[in-house]
A = this chain, B = another copy of it.
Amino acid sequence: MKKIHVVDTTLRDGSHAIGHSFSVEDVTKIAQGLDASGVELIEISHGDGINGSSYNYGFMKSSEMELLKAASKVIRNAKLTVLLLPGIGTVEDLKYVHEHCGVTAVRVATHVSEADISKQHIEAAKELGMTAVGFLMLAHMSTPSEIAEQAKLMESYGADYINIADSAGHLLPENVSEIIKTVCSAVSIPVGFHAHNNLALAMGNTLAAIEAGATYVDGTLCGLGAGAGNTQLEVLAGVLDLKGLDSGLDFYGLMDVAKDVVTPIMKRPQIIDEDSLMVGYAGVYSSFFLHVKRAAEKFQLESRDILVELGKRKMVGGQEDMIIDVAYQLSQKK
């Protein structure tokens, strides 16, 4: 029976969906439930990775250090994992959480074309004896062969596996399949996949990734996550079971944590509304929204038309100041 390794990111990607307000008590209960239910990696960080708590990305209610320490007390089998975006998190942060908070794995995340900035962090993690994952975000912005080249870089730095992230929820199953196959052929380490549900395809794409050779997949309880959320973990446990794949997950156990602990914390249901649908359709960063809405008002345009244009131009985080130019150009065309 094919083994599928399941990574939970409720306490990291899910953090976006509740304004980074997880308490020590929430984290203790959720981490304990995930660990008892057979999840292999439990990722806990600010939504934008370790040290993300800031004016720019939103402040956390409780510090990452507190949350990680609380989780480390209750985790018996899983690897306590952080996400680290080079530039936001540093090698020093990584050393600190490894030494003081029981963190044993790190996923080093870069834009899909910028694997080279992960070198020092992956190498540092391996020197510390940690599991190190190369995590490539916004995969829809590169071709499969370009992604494979970036994955090879991360492999050369010592990554234990490569995780491909459809951060905007823009990919279709056939795209996922082609990317995963190409990356699997290029590297000799395992390959994983992180889905978003903006086009209602989180589960479909996760299965397409597995069919194409991925052996690590991400999920979150109740699908809690940025935009339309992630692959719903407790549903994934049932689906993998029906497919005859060995995930080692306790289906009922995960359902119980989802219902009893996560559902009461949620600020809104994890549905696909116009905003998250348009992010997925256009293939843009969800952090563009506020800027786009302001620009739309200023130039009497529809937000969605601006989003589509930004997607066409493959705008990435950091280019927010160009949104107003795009809106101006669209208004001139009108």
A51-59, A89-97, A274-282, A292-300: which lies at the interface: A274-282
Kindly specify which of A11-19, A36-44, A234-242 makes contact with the partner chain: A234-242
Nearest residue (CB) in B for A199 is B239
Which residue of B has the minimal Cβ distance to A283? B242
Asked if B242 contacts A281 (CB within 8 A), the reply is yes
Chain B residues with Cβ under 8 A from A252's Cβ? 302, 304
- Bound-state CA distance A275–B85 (Å) is 38
Tell yes or no: A82 within 8 A of B by CB. Answer: no
Contact of A235 among B173, B236, B239, B277 (CB under 8 A): B277
Encode A233-275 as 1/0 by CB contact (under 8 A) with B: 0111011011100000001100100110000000001111110
In Å, the complex CA distance between A242 and B201 comes to 13
Measured between beta carbons, the chain B residues less than 8 angstroms from A255 are 274, 277, 304
Interface flag for A147 (CB, 8 Å): no
CB contact between A259 and one of B258, B270, B274 (< 8 Å): that residue: B274
Alpha-carbon separation in the docked complex, A274 to B241 (Å): 16
In the bound complex, do residue B270 and residue A172 qualify as a contact, i.e. CB atoms below 8 Å apart?
Answer: no
**A208 proximity list for chain B (CB < 8 A):** 173, 204
Q: Shortest CB–CB separation between residue A141 and chain B, in angstroms?
A: 15
User: A256's closest neighbor in chain B, by CB?
Assistant: B274
Kindly list chain B residues whose C-beta atoms are within 8 Å of the C-beta of A203.
Answer: 199-201, 204
* Contacting residues, chain B, for A236 (C-beta < 8 A): 200
Interface flag for A9 (CB, 8 Å): no
Q: Does A232 contact B (CB under 8 A)?
A: yes
Report A329 CB to chain B, min CB distance, Å.
Answer: 20
Given contacts A234-B277, A238-B281, contact A172 B259 (CB under 8 A): no
Q: Which residues of B contact A232 (CB under 8 A)?
A: 200, 272
Cβ–Cβ contact B200 & A231, under 8 A: yes
Which of B172, B207, B223, B271 makes the CB contact (< 8 A) with A172?
Answer: B207
Closest Cβ–Cβ distance, residue A18 to chain B (whole Å): 16
Q: A255-B277, A273-B259 are in contact. Are A207 and B173 (CB under 8 A)?
A: yes
Q: Name 6 extra pairs, CB < 8 A, besides A173-B173, A199-B235, A201-B239.
A: A172-B242, A173-B204, A173-B207, A200-B223, A223-B272, A255-B277
Per CB-CB distance, the 5 closest pairs between chain A and chain B, nearest first, are A204-B204, A269-B269, A200-B203, A238-B281, A200-B235
Q: Can you give 24 A-B contacts (C-beta < 8 A)?
A: A170-B242, A172-B242, A172-B243, A197-B200, A199-B203, A199-B239, A199-B242, A200-B202, A200-B203, A200-B231, A200-B236, A201-B203, A201-B204, A201-B207, A222-B271, A238-B277, A238-B280, A238-B281, A251-B281, A255-B277, A255-B304, A259-B273, A259-B274, A269-B271
